[in-house]
Amino acid sequence: MNRKQPEWLDNAVFYEIYPQSFNDTNSDGIGDFQGIIEKLDYIKELGCNAIWINPCFDSPFGDAGYDVSDYYRAAPRYGTNEDLKRLFDEAHSRGMHVLLDLVPGHTSVEHKWFRESMKAEKNEYTDRYVWTDSIWEEPQGMGCIRGISDRDGSCAVNFFSHQPALNYGFYKPDRPWQQSMDDEGPKATLEELKNIMRFWLKMGCDGFRVDMAGSLVKHDDESKGTIKLWQNVREFLDREFPEAAMVSEWGEPDKSIQGGFHMDFLLHFGPSHYNDLFRCEEPYFSSRGKGSALEFVKKYIENYEKSDRKGLICIPSGNHDMYRLARSLSGDELKVAFAFLLSMPGAPFIYYGDEIGMRYVENLTSVEGGYGRTGSRSPMQWDKGVNAGFSTAPAEKLYIPLDSSDDRPDAESQIADEKSLRSEIKRLIAVRMRNEALQSCGEIEFISDGYPLVYKRKSDAQTITVIINPSAEKCTVEGVKGKIIYTVGGSAEIKDGSCFADGTTAVYIEE
- What average pLDDT does this structure show over 352-362? 98
Residues found in the chain? 511
pLDDT at 269: 74
pLDDT at 265: 87
User: Is-contact 425 46, C-beta < 8 A?
Assistant: yes
Cα 189 from chain centroid (whole Å): 25
pLDDT at 2: 45
Domains belonging to the chain, first-starting first, are 7-104+187-433 (3.20.20.80), 106-167 (3.90.400.10), 444-510 (2.60.40.1180)
Residue 1 has pLDDT above 50, yes or no: no
Mean confidence (pLDDT) of the chain: 96
Residue 291 has pLDDT above 90, yes or no: yes
Could you report the per-residue pLDDT of 480-507, keeping only the tens digit for each? 999 999 999 999 999 999 999 999 999 9
- What average pLDDT does this structure show over 255-276? 88
Percentage of the chain modeled with pLDDT above 90: 93
What is the rounded CA–CA span in Å between residue 289 and residue 473?
Answer: 8
Residue 222 has pLDDT above 60, yes or no: yes
pLDDT at 311: 55
Percentage of the chain modeled with pLDDT above 70: 99
* Distance between start and end Cα atoms, the chain: 33
Q: How many CA atoms lie within 13 A of 281 on its CB side?
A: 0
User: Is-contact 40 94, C-beta < 8 A?
Assistant: yes
pLDDT at 105: 98
Say which residues have a Cβ less than 8 Å from residue 403's Cβ, sequence separation at least 6: 358, 359, 361, 378, 381, 388
What is the rounded CA–CA span in Å between residue 294 and residue 268?
Answer: 17
pLDDT at 306: 80
What is the rounded CA–CA span in Å between residue 51 and residue 44?
Answer: 10
Could you report the per-residue pLDDT of 189-204, keeping only the tens digit for each? 999 999 999 999 999 9
Say which residues have a Cβ less than 8 Å from residue 308's Cβ, sequence separation at least 6: 257
HEC letters along 437-455: HHCCCCEEEEEEECCCEEE
Could you report the per-residue pLDDT of 7-18, keeping only the tens digit for each? 999 999 999 999
pLDDT at 310: 66
Say which residues have a Cβ less than 8 Å from residue 112's Cβ, sequence separation at least 6: 69, 70
Say which residues have a Cβ less than 8 Å from residue 151's Cβ, sequence separation at least 6: 117, 118, 119, 120, 131
Could you report the per-residue pLDDT of 407-447, keeping only the tens digit for each? 999 999 999 999 999 999 999 999 999 999 999 999 999 99
- pTM check: above 0.95: yes
pLDDT at 267: 78
- What average pLDDT does this structure show over 444-468? 97
Q: Residue 402 — pLDDT band, cuts 50, 70, 90? A: very high
Cα 292 from chain centroid (whole Å): 24
- What average pLDDT does this structure show over 215-225? 96
Residue 153 has pLDDT above 60, yes or no: yes
pLDDT at 307: 76
3 state SS of 100: strand
Residue 394 has pLDDT above 70, yes or no: yes
- What average pLDDT does this structure show over 24-39? 98
- What average pLDDT does this structure show over 36-42? 98
pLDDT at 12: 96
What is the rounded CA–CA span in Å between residue 55 and residue 65?
Answer: 5
What is the rounded CA–CA span in Å between residue 390 and residue 383?
Answer: 8
Residue 312 has pLDDT above 90, yes or no: no
Q: What is the dihedral of CA 373, 377, 378, 382, to 10 degrees?
A: 150
3 state SS of 285: coil
